[in-house]
Amino acid sequence: MEQSFLAYLRGRCRSLPQVDVGIGDDAAVFAPPPGDLVVCTDQIIDGVDFRSEELDESDDGLANVGYKSVAINLSDLAAMGARPHSILVTLSLPRDDATRIAGDVYEGILEIASEFQLAIAGGDISTYDGPLAISVTAVGSVPPGSAWRRGGAEEGDAIFVTGAFGGSLLGRHLRPRPRLDVAAALRKVCPVHAAIDVSDGLSLDLDRMLAASRLGAELDVDAIPIHSDAETMASRSERSAWEHAWSDGEDFELIFAVAEENADRVAGLDLDVPITRIGTVVGRTGLWQRTASKVRRLSPQGYEHKSGSGDQRVTDETGTDQG
Amino acid sequence: MEQSFLAYLRGRCRSLPQVDVGIGDDAAVFAPPPGDLVVCTDQIIDGVDFRSEELDESDDGLANVGYKSVAINLSDLAAMGARPHSILVTLSLPRDDATRIAGDVYEGILEIASEFQLAIAGGDISTYDGPLAISVTAVGSVPPGSAWRRGGAEEGDAIFVTGAFGGSLLGRHLRPRPRLDVAAALRKVCPVHAAIDVSDGLSLDLDRMLAASRLGAELDVDAIPIHSDAETMASRSERSAWEHAWSDGEDFELIFAVAEENADRVAGLDLDVPITRIGTVVGRTGLWQRTASKVRRLSPQGYEHKSGSGDQRVTDETGTDQG
């Protein structure tokens, strides 16, 4: 299949940005985008990150999976404050119907590549006795020395999030919107000290960002934006909408920290997605809720996508009250 | 598993070259190596590219698979005349014994990373209901505008190969030697017009290079270096050692074309691996053998690794005699 499919793909890629040497040689060649390179790789697998039997076949089921495989990588680039440049795509295809699956998946890949003007620099295709797996490597760039790391938060920083949380499994998780536009807008407004994207759960990823910074946060738990999908999920589960927002994951929104003095400028940004302040970075590690009378420790929760025994709900710490 | 395994991996990577931001953040960040970027991605899968049940468990079976997963990508970089910089590694692990498998595979990955001084910039790990699959993205560089493409051969060019061919399935295919040293040495001697590495078969990959150049070759078929493994294979098969060399594949040697005026300088290179001239680029497309009385068309043969129905022996054209 590979040779003829690659010929088809080269044709479909003509309207996208091009690299100097692309699909069809031993490797891709291009002048690096200016600044530091930002490179990430993330894969999604049928049965682990999505379930093909639950996809709507009359709809764009496999195209959405292709879209997601790129979007989650662009979300990682957004979390570094990077601008995307190109992707490489590796498909592992079940032997049955491999060509149709590859074509359907690429519909979504081409859609998001066009949307964000990515070059498809290369890739690999195999057929095997296994489930559909898509591994994407994304290449982007930031001005030299300016990548947003998890570990750069400072005490007193304001903590913001994009969008709203919870219930993405109802379908939103297949069409995440990488917050590259927010990243680009933030770059013009003020330095971002630390950032992370929410793949495993708002509280779990927030906790990771703060742990990398060796700091903690006091949160305004009532300010956390709850997605309507979380309300829907709550009506069918034993957990509240807030709990879904706190821990569901696969929201692919950004969490970021900026100096308190810049908080108003960030809050005043007029973007397609709401930006909400949810708390403040504090010296004491962990996540905390301050009320009138006391400070209560909050338990980060979420899903670890790639644990040895498959996805599992995790609680990093048990909740404890502190006066 | 991922968090603790990544902590272990960070420790093991300390003796390797480092990127500015590496394993443990949302993406890797580093200043691009000087020149044009050269990026490739290639995966190997149990049951397709190797068979884990045939690996020597007392030996370094899975480590060799890890080694190979990187080596085949470095071979692609060598075929572009590039210098390697870093790799990203994505593992898809069978649920049973995932941590042990990941550890064993990484032994080989760390070995080759140390050998070629590669940074391990990032990666992804999943466990799933499927066979071991390793997808590697390799990043390298060339001086601006100087990547060796398949399509740059010119009529009259001398065609060379590194090493010897055939029978790699006896074990050599698991420990290929990427010809980065040859690529570096050639860069100092003369321009290389076109190059490719031999993954699917000497004749098939040579034919691809020439087809990309819209040219053909007259070959000295007796000059083709035959590996002793090909002799061993021939003693067990109905094909000659020459036929094994012609079509077996997975040799990961280089084929390259240089101007005739530079042929002697290339032939005179003193390297760890022999470099052998096997023919001359001609205007007539296809592969040809000139004898005293006639020119005979040769049939490119080899394995297409990633065809829709699995690996299969292919013959691009039937042999025909021309006077």
A211 touches chain B (CB under 8 A): no
Are the C-beta atoms of B59 and A269 separated by less than 8 Å? Answer: no
Q: pLDDT 10s per residue in chain B (323 long)?
A: 567 888 888 888 889 999 988 888 889 999 999 999 999 999 999 999 888 888 876 567 899 999 999 999 999 999 999 999 999 999 999 999 899 999 999 999 999 999 999 999 999 999 999 999 999 999 999 999 999 999 999 999 999 999 999 999 998 998 999 999 999 999 999 999 999 999 999 999 999 999 999 999 999 999 999 999 999 999 999 999 999 999 999 999 999 999 999 999 999 999 999 999 999 999 999 999 988 888 899 999 877 654 333 445 555 443 333 33
Distance (Å) from the alpha carbon of A208 to chain B's nearest alpha carbon = 10
Please judge whether A26 and B150 are an interchain contact, meaning their C-beta atoms are less than 8 angstroms apart. yes
The H or E element spanning position A109 is helix A98-115
CA distance B132 to A141: 32
Name which of B29, B129, B306 is nearest A47 (Cβ-Cβ).
B129
The H or E element spanning position A2 is helix A2-12
Distance (Å) from the alpha carbon of A83 to chain B's nearest alpha carbon = 12
In degrees and rounded to multiples of 5, residue B74 shows phi and psi of -65, -35
- Residue B42, number of CB atoms within 10 A of its CB: 28
Query: Best of B21, B23, B37, B309 to disrupt the A interface by mutation (most A CBs within 10 Å)?
Result: B37
Please judge whether B32 and A37 are an interchain contact, meaning their C-beta atoms are less than 8 angstroms apart. yes
- Residue B283, number of CB atoms within 10 A of its CB: 9
What the block records as the tokens of B254 is 């280089």
Name which of A76, A90, A95 is nearest B43 (Cβ-Cβ).
A90
CA distance B242 to A218: 73
The packing angle between helices B98-115 and B61-79, to 10°, is 40
Burial A10-21 (b: 16+ CB within 10 A, else e): eebbeebbebbb
Pairing between strand A254-258 and A194-197?
antiparallel
pLDDT of residue A57: 63
Please judge whether B307 and A76 are an interchain contact, meaning their C-beta atoms are less than 8 angstroms apart. no
pLDDT of residue B307: 38
pLDDT of residue A312: 52
B25 touches chain A (CB under 8 A): yes
pLDDT of residue A292: 80
Pairing between strand B286-290 and A194-197?
unpaired
Chain A CB contacts of B309 under 8 Å are: 95, 127
Distance (Å) from the alpha carbon of B212 to chain A's nearest alpha carbon = 9
Name which of B29, B32, B48 is nearest A126 (Cβ-Cβ).
B48
Look up residue B198 and give its DSSP letter: -
Name which of A40, A88, A305 is nearest B122 (Cβ-Cβ).
A40
Please judge whether B47 and A307 are an interchain contact, meaning their C-beta atoms are less than 8 angstroms apart. no
Please judge whether A41 and B197 are an interchain contact, meaning their C-beta atoms are less than 8 angstroms apart. no
Q: How many CA atoms lie within 13 A of A231 on its CB side?
A: 5
CA distance B100 to B108: 13
pLDDT of residue A308: 37
B232: which residues sit within 8 A by CB, 6+ positions away? Answer: B167, B170
Q: Which residue of B has its CA nearest to A40?
A: B27
Distance (Å) from the alpha carbon of A236 to chain B's nearest alpha carbon = 28
Name which of A137, A307, A309 is nearest B88 (Cβ-Cβ).
A137
Helices (H), ranges, chain B: 2-12, 61-79, 98-115, 180-189, 202-212, 228-236, 241-247, 263-267
CA distance A141 to B106: 28
pLDDT of residue B308: 37
CA distance B274 to B270: 8
Are the C-beta atoms of B193 and B257 separated by less than 8 Å? Answer: yes
pLDDT of residue B264: 97
CA distance A93 to A106: 12
Q: Which residue of A has its CA nearest to B102?
A: A308
A128 touches chain B (CB under 8 A): yes
Q: pLDDT 10s per residue in chain A (323 long)?
A: 567 888 888 888 889 999 988 888 889 999 999 999 999 999 999 999 888 888 866 567 899 999 999 999 999 999 999 999 999 999 999 999 899 999 999 999 999 999 999 999 999 999 999 999 999 999 999 999 999 999 999 999 999 999 999 999 998 998 999 999 999 999 999 999 999 999 999 999 999 999 999 999 999 999 999 999 999 999 999 999 999 999 999 999 999 999 999 999 999 999 999 999 999 999 999 999 988 888 899 999 877 654 333 445 555 443 333 33
Q: Which residue of B has its CA nearest to A198?
A: B26
